[in-house]
Structures are given as structure tokens and as C-alpha cells.
Amino acid sequence: MKNKKVISLFLFLFLAVNAIAQNQEKEINQVTELIDRVVKWQNEKTDHVEKYTLTNWHFAAYYIGLMKAFKTTNNSEYQSHLYKIGVEHQWETIPDMYHGDKIAIGQVYLDLYDQKGRGVMIKNLKWVLDAHLLRKKPAPDVRYDKNPYQHEWWSWCDALFMAPPTFAKMYQMTGNKVYLNYAIDHWLLTTDYLWDKEENLIYRDDRYFGKTTKAGKKIFWGRGNGWVYGGLVHMLEIIPKDHPKRQLLLDQFIGMSEALLEIQKADGLWRANLLDPGVFAFLDKKSGALVQSINPVDVPENSSSSFFCYGFAWGVNQGILSKDQYLSPMLNAWNGLKQHVNEAGRLGYVQPVGKDPKPFDADSWEEFGTGAFLLAASEYINYLKTSSDDEISFQKGNVFYENNLSDASKTQDWRMEGEGAVLFKSGWMEMFSPKEASHHVFWCPKDLPENFVAEWEVQNIETEEGLCIVFFSAKGVNGEDIFDRSLKKRVGVFRQYTKSDLNNYHISYYANAPNKPNRPFSHLRKNKGFVKVHVGRPGIPSNSKEVHKIQLIKKMNHIMMNLDGEKIIDWKDDGKSLGPVLGSGKFAFRQMQWTRFRYRNLKIWELKS
């Protein structure tokens, strides 16, 4: 009887988990289909093409959302559409090159460059950004009112979505910190001036200082704050965690999140006038006087609501915003937004181009509203992909392999490929290439099981340059042992491991290569093919000489890596788009020729069933 109860319990748990997975996949498919419907509707609309031109901010904000949708759904039609725009416009920005809004299209060019690697895509953009960097006069002046240079600097809050992430992405592609520091320093110039510390919201520009509605409420424009909230997400995705000014932007993101949480409405959405939602309040073009009118119908403003939903979802997914506080509000916002997408795919209740809370209706739509919605929908999919099992639930079983790497006898059965060497000091295995002759890979002789936990400690000896990677689940493309003589000879050259006759996963958790110095992000790739399947959180800081503990977990199709107890990689292989999930196979440490790291206390456990 006892055995029957145990069997029944396991059967129940299996069916329950299977049902959750099926529901999760069903919802992901539904959101993916919704995204496609919205994109197809928008791409067929030509109403605003002549008025705004296809590379101006109006469309660039849509393209930024479309690029996020491509990265999330892997729908190549989205990428092709963006590539076509770039080619047709010769990868150029709008001629008014110092206007912050005009360079927003550069974010898309930079993403396409990252994906396709063609220098022509960013040649003009780099020239434009370099012109910004070289300016000495006039000095930065973020006043807007009565400032003849009001568009030369980021004097209005919208610009913070358009310009700083463009500079930050150029840093991401080139490794040149001058672009990132320019973005951060000028971001802070604007926010120091326009940020209201009492409300943790931002004014559109200085013309709204001191102005209030008849109810005495300050005027904070919904979409203006949406631009900044979305811009904060895109900046924080790029700024390394050890950057001395990152915390300033993180504080802004958390502070604004708290303020937005307080003013979110029952339908999950926000209004054009954030603090006085029943009033439209805008400046008369001629006199500059504040005009106010009562909003007879309480309706959402969905470009701002999309940005706020996006930020909530991103904050929850990154562990920055507490699920206890923000998960339900995020879900409420998403459920509210999708109700305003009609059968054709149009998102309504989007305030037209403006600077302040003005009237609009259910039929109002704009390209930038669609772009913001695509950001929210894509990040919601990212949430769904991990929502049923955000953390890998596992239990260590028997120790499969243990090696403290303390002396040469411990690695006599390991195999080095490339001109690499190891030496042993003070209980550590130090790995390097004599005379920095070549990249190198050091293989553990054991085939790791399909499900395992591996832990080891590392320390950087030389911080000037380097790259550390771990290969795992490595076998020949036909299932051969990687040392099978039928496989091609390998000498440490990267393509021999990523684009030849091996299948494997690999994670880069330290990256400071000469062509991309101080790349902050950890990457997970699936090979054969060198396909970047996941860009994680920052790995080991480039200048760190601390001892770091790495934990790698593989549970069926779920792969996670923790650095000093903090998750930096979390990805599930769907087993479809890039071939079957990889199972058991060899494990190795890889370094570039300039790298000098040391390792100790490698221990690998099987997972308990």
C-alpha cells in the first residue's frame, strides 16, 4: 500500500509539472502570435512615413521594439525588415546630428552590426558620435526654455531614451569606455536638472517647473517618464556592475518604479497626466500659458503604460524588483495592455506626438507606441520562459568527479589542446600559454552525466587581457567521444570547437579580449554553430583579482551559472530551434593566449532524480 501511495504521488507531481509546462508554452505561443499580428499591422501602415521619415525617432522607437521582438522570438522577418531599412538609408542618421532624438536609429544599426558584423553599418554612426565627443563649445547646457542650444544637448526627457543608449551600445560593440562615460555623464546632467526627488518622477523639460493643475498637482507627462524608464532599462543592461556611477542610475530605476507602483490604476495601466489623471494640461504654443481641461473619460495612455510594463517585467526578471511587490502589478499591466490591441493588431489609446498630457482616444495610434508595446510583450515572454521554474530546483547526489587541482599528478590524464601549459603553486593550477603563443583548451578526461552540478574556484593573475570559457556536454556531431581519431585535429583555434565537428555548450564568464576590452556580459552559446543563445549578466569584472566561485548546473534542458552565489546565466534549450538538447559529454577550461588564470577545487556531482 505504501509503495502505491508513493507511485501515485510521483504520478501526480509528474502530471502537474507537465500541465504547467504545457500552459506556459501555450501562453508563450499566444504572445508570440500577438507580437506578429501587431508587427504586420504596423508594417502595412504608411500614414506617417512622409511626415516623419523612416529613420527619425518616431520610427526608430518602433524599430527598437521590433529588434527586441526579433531577439525574443527569433523571427527572421523582423530582422530582415530592419536590415532593409538600414540598406535603403545607407546606414545614415538624420542630418541634424547633434539632436538627441535623431541618433536613436543608431541603436538598431548597432544591434544589426552585432548580428551581422559588417562595418559599414556603423561607420557613419561612429563618425556622428565621435563628433559629439569632440565638442568643446558650447559647454553642456540642459536648460530648455529660451535656450538657443536646447536641442544640442539632452534638455528634454525624451532624449534619454534616444541618445544615451546609442552611445552605450557603441561602447558595447567597441569596448571603448569613452562612449559609455559620455552617455552616463550627460544622462546625469539631464536627470540632475529635471528629476523631482520628492516624486521620483521627471519633468519633460524646465518649462514645467513650478506649474501645477488646479488641484495643485505637479505635471509629469506619462510618456515622457516612459521614455526615461525605458532608457534606464537599456542603460542598466549595458553599464558594468562595477562602474562607479551605475548605482546612480539603478537608484533612479528603483525610485521611479516605486513611484509608478503607487499611481498604477485598477486596470493595470497609467494615465497621460501621472499625478492628476483626470486633467489634460499642456502649454499653449504661442503664449506658453498652461491650458487645462477635464478628461471626461478615465482612459489609459498606452505608450507610457507599455514602457512601465516593460520596466516592471525587466526589473522582476533581473531580480532588481521584488516579485512580492512587482509581479502582480506587472501581470496586471500586461493584461490591461493586450486588451487594447484590436483584432487587426493596432494598439489604441496612444497619445500622438507631443510634449505634455493632451487629449487622444481609442483610435489613436503611433509607431512609437507600437515599439513600446513590443518591448513589453517581448520582456513578458522572457518572464514566461522562466516563470514556472525561475530557479533550478535540484539536489546534489553522489560525487561524480573531484579534483582539487593542487599538483601535476591530479591532471596527468587531462588533455591540453593548443600551446597551453599548467603549473602548480600553493594548491592552485595556473593555466597560461608560454610566450602567449596560442589559445588553449584543457579537457577533463571524464564524460559528465546529462544532469550535474559543477563547482570550482578561479582567480585572475593578469588582468590586462583575457578570456575564460567553460565547454560542457561536448561530443562529436555523431555522438563520438571528442578524442575519437576520426574527428579533426584541434589546436585551440576557436572555430575548431564551435563550427567544426563538435557539439557542445560553452559559457564565457570572463571577457577582456583586445577587440572588445572589458566586455561585461557572460554569454552562453550552443555549438556546432557558435550561436549566441543567451546574453547573461556581467561575469567576473575585468580588473578583479579576487577568488571567485563558479557553479554550473545542467538539469536536462535548463542551464544556469552562478558567480559567487549570484545568477549570471539562466537559459532553457527548447530542443527544437537549434537541434536536440545536448546530454552527457566532456568538460573543459578554455583560455585565450593572453590569459593567466588559476583554478582549484573542481567538484562535480550527479543530480538526484
**Does 158 participate in catalysis according to the annotation?**
yes
Question: 29 near 59, Cβ under 8 Å?
Answer: no
d(CA 369, CA 429): 55
Which candidate, 105, 88, 87, places its Cα nearest to that of 96?
105
Quick one: DSSP state of residue 489? Answer: P
Q: Report helix angle 2-44 to 57-73, nearest 10.
A: 150
d(CA 196, CA 554): 46
How far does CA 99 lie from the centroid of its chain?
A: 26
483-492: burial string, b at 16+ Cβ within 10 Å, e else: eeeebeebeb
d(CA 75, CA 88): 21
Q: Report helix angle 177-194 to 120-134, nearest 10.
A: 60
d(CA 585, CA 572): 18
Report in angstroms the alpha-carbon separations of 161 from 64, 121, 150, 154, 396: 10, 21, 17, 10, 45
Residues forming beta bridges with residue 549, ordered by sequence position = 457
Question: 168 near 234, Cβ under 8 Å?
Answer: yes
Classified as helix, coil or strand, 37 is helix
What are residue 103's phi and psi, to 5 degrees?
-100, 5
Q: Which three cell numbers stand for residue 336?
A: 490591461
Q: Which three cell numbers stand for residue 29?
A: 505561443
Taking phi over 0 as left and psi of -120 to 50 as alpha, with beta for the rest, 268 belongs to: left
Which candidate, 310, 250, 232, places its Cα nearest to that of 72?
310
In 433-565, the DSSP E strands lie at 440-443, 452-460, 466-476, 502-512, 521-527, 531-538, 547-555, 558-563
What are residue 446's phi and psi, to 5 degrees?
-90, 140
d(CA 345, CA 128): 36
Of 111, 158, 205, 206, the catalytic one is 158
Quick one: DSSP state of residue 139? Answer: P
d(CA 87, CA 84): 5
d(CA 196, CA 483): 63
Report in angstroms the alpha-carbon separations of 190 from 155, 258, 392: 6, 21, 41
Quick one: DSSP state of residue 197? Answer: T
Q: Which three cell numbers stand for residue 569?
A: 546565466
Helix boundaries (H) for 237-285:
246-263
Q: Report helix angle 323-338 to 367-387, nearest 10.
A: 130
d(CA 117, CA 203): 39
Residues annotated catalytic, as ranges:
158
